[in-house]
């Protein structure tokens, strides 16, 4: 039986949601933020990674380790999600944290350039104290960048939940994640134009001013567009609204965790997200090597494999969000997408027998299409498997699952290939790569099995009961 207090809160939630509904114009604006993230990500992680290793001759372990610190900050997503749930700033729970986080990662991006070249100077002089100090500062900068990303993106996804209904989310997710892909493309084009005159240049005195100017411009544009993207979209919660929903400040991190652990469905979906994301990205670090060693493709051709994958993903996200998911339902679409990914991985193995690069390109488009369809439904499920009162905390946990599996994919992909080489020997690269793809298939099949145990209705029943219990305990 629902208490009068819960009924009042539910009425308040309905009023708030209807006032902040995501119109097509606001959805287009809000998706700009994802585009900015994609653009900055490819510049910060892609371009700087290449410059540090190739032009400045940094040890690869320092570059890889520094970038890993960004992923190590993923647990902070839970904390920032809970903060956005419980500590509104000037009547708004999400946008202030999005803007603060955006300002933080833009600042870190700008600061990264002088710090990178300061580290290069230390390496050139061979002063180990300076090298150690600069390396620590570089890792700290990547950590702060990761913290800022977590602070901005977790409330952002919670805002999407706040402003959409279950029926609207597949369409919103499709458009928003398409903008992420478009942002990556725009970032790659910007890098190409900016660095066109830097081919073969390794002199730090020539590189630094150009890269510094470029990063300042990018950070300024990203910050401006992020402000425009979220300005006025989130409804202002009045003092009356906050006082009526006193539970928002009562549900701290400890009690949020009690809600999170109150339903077996949360554990089921967490495991599914880990397996699904790992099964999708385990081949990511070895894909271009597969094209090079098995199909004898040059660098210019192997780099296009990710482009074909991206095109397929873009199409899959759109048709998944606008057509397939609304008709089949999220769970059925997620299962279909996972089976399509499994089939694409099987075809990827057999394509190595033909060594036909055109067939490989076609399979990568199919793989991306499958990934886009499955990702749309998985993200829609992720946003549905939350409670509005603690949406930020739940999004933080789902984000942690994805970041954890992405990090494992980067580490295990290369390691498993090494094991495959030991098994196959030096003259059978297809067997070595096929070993990794076969394990990826097994992981995706495991994700399908876990998905069978998922029930959105059971999740809502369990967590709503726990929420009411906690609120009633505060009133007693």
Please give the pLDDT value at position 391: 82
Please give the pLDDT value at position 298: 84
Query: Domains of the chain by range and CATH?
Result: 23-244 (1.20.1250.20), 246-476 (1.20.1250.20)
pLDDT level of residue 11 (50, 70, 90 thresholds): very low
Please give the pLDDT value at position 1: 41
- Three-state secondary structure call for residue 92: strand
Residue 23's Cβ-count burial label (10 Å; 0-12, 13-18, 19+) is: exposed
Residue 366's Cβ-count burial label (10 Å; 0-12, 13-18, 19+) is: buried
Q: What percent of the chain has pLDDT over 70?
A: 86
pLDDT level of residue 4 (50, 70, 90 thresholds): very low
When mean pLDDT is compared over 306-310, 366-370, 390-394, 426-430, the highest value belongs to 366-370
Q: Which two tokens mark 419? A: 């094991």
Please give the pLDDT value at position 167: 85
Name which residue leads in pLDDT, 239 or 419.
419
**Which one, of 349, 369, 371, 370, lies nearest residue 360 by Cα?**
349
pLDDT level of residue 257 (50, 70, 90 thresholds): low
pLDDT tens digits, residue range 320-338?
998 999 999 999 999 999 9
pLDDT at 464 over 80: no
Please give the pLDDT value at position 468: 60
Residue 357's Cβ-count burial label (10 Å; 0-12, 13-18, 19+) is: middle
Name which residue leads in pLDDT, 253 or 375.
375
Name which residue leads in pLDDT, 232 or 65.
232
Cα dist. 7→2, 12, 463 in Å?
Answer: 7, 9, 16
Residue 134's φ and ψ, nearest 5 degrees, are: -65, -35
Residue pointed to by tokens 């749930």: 85
Q: What is the spatial distance between Cα 333 and Cα 329, in angstroms, rounded to a whole number? A: 6
The least confident of 13-27, 357-371, 399-413, 441-455 is 13-27
Rounded to the nearest integer, the mean pLDDT of the chain is 83
The least confident of 20-24, 31-35, 84-88, 362-366 is 20-24
Cβ-Cβ contacts under 8 Å for 11 (sequence gap 6 or more): none
Please give the pLDDT value at position 463: 72
Q: What is the spatial distance between Cα 403 and Cα 400, in angstroms, rounded to a whole number? A: 5
């Amino acid at each position: 039986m629902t208490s009068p207090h819960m009924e009042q809160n539910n009425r308040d939630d309905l009023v708030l949601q209807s006032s902040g509904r995501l119109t097509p114009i606001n959805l287009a604006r809000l998706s700009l933020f994802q585009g900015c993230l994609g653009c900055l990500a490819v510049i910060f992680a892609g371009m700087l990674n290449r410059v540090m290793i190739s032009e400045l001759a940094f040890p690869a372990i320092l570059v890889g380790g520094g970038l890993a610190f960004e992923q190590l900050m993923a647990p902070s997503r839970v904390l920032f999600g809970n903060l956005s749930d419980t500590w509104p700033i000037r009547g708004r729970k999400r946008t202030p944290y999005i803007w603060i986080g955006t300002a933080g990662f833009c600042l870190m991006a700008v600061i990264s350039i002088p710090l990178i070249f300061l580290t290069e100077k230390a390496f050139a002089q061979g002063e180990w104290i300076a090298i150690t100090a600069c390396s620590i500062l570089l890792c700290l900068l990547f950590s702060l960048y990761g913290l800022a990303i977590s602070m901005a993106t977790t409330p952002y996804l919670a805002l999407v939940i706040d402003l959409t209904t279950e029926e609207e989310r597949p369409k919103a997710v499709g458009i928003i994640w398409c903008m992420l892909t478009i942002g990556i493309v725009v970032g790659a084009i910007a890098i190409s134009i900016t660095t066109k005159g830097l081919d073969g240049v390794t002199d730090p005195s020539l590189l630094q001013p150009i890269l510094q100017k470029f990063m300042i411009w990018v950070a300024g544009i990203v910050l401006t567009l992020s402000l425009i993207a979220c300005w006025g979209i989130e409804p202002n919660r009045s003092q009356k609204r906050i006082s009526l929903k006193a539970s928002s400040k009562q549900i701290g991190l400890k009690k949020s965790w009690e809600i999170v652990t109150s339903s077996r469905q949360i554990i089921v979906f967490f495991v599914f997200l880990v397996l699904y994301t790992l099964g999708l990205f385990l081949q990511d670090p070895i894909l271009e090597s597969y094209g090079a060693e098995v199909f004898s493709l040059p660098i210019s051709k192997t780099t296009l494999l990710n482009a074909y994958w991206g095109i397929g993903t873009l199409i899959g996200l759109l048709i998944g969000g606008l057509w397939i998911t609304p008709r089949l339902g999220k769970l059925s679409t997620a299962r279909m997408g996972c089976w399509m990914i499994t089939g694409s991985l099987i075809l990827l193995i057999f394509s190595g027998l033909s060594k036909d690069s055109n067939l490989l390109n076609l399979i990568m488009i199919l793989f991306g299409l499958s990934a886009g369809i499955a990702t749309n439904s998985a993200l829609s499920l992720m946003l549905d498997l939350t409670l509005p009162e603690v949406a930020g905390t739940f999004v933080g946990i789902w984000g942690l699952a994805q970041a954890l599996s992405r990090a494992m994919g980067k580490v295990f992909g290369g390691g498993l290939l090494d094991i495959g080489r030991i098994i196959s020997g030096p003259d059978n690269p297809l067997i070595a790569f096929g070993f990794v793809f076969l394990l990826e298939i097994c992981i995706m099949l495991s994700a399908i099995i876990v998905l069978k145990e998922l029930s959105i209705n059971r999740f809502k029943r369990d967590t709503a009961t726990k929420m009411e219990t906690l609120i009633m305990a505060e009133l007693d």
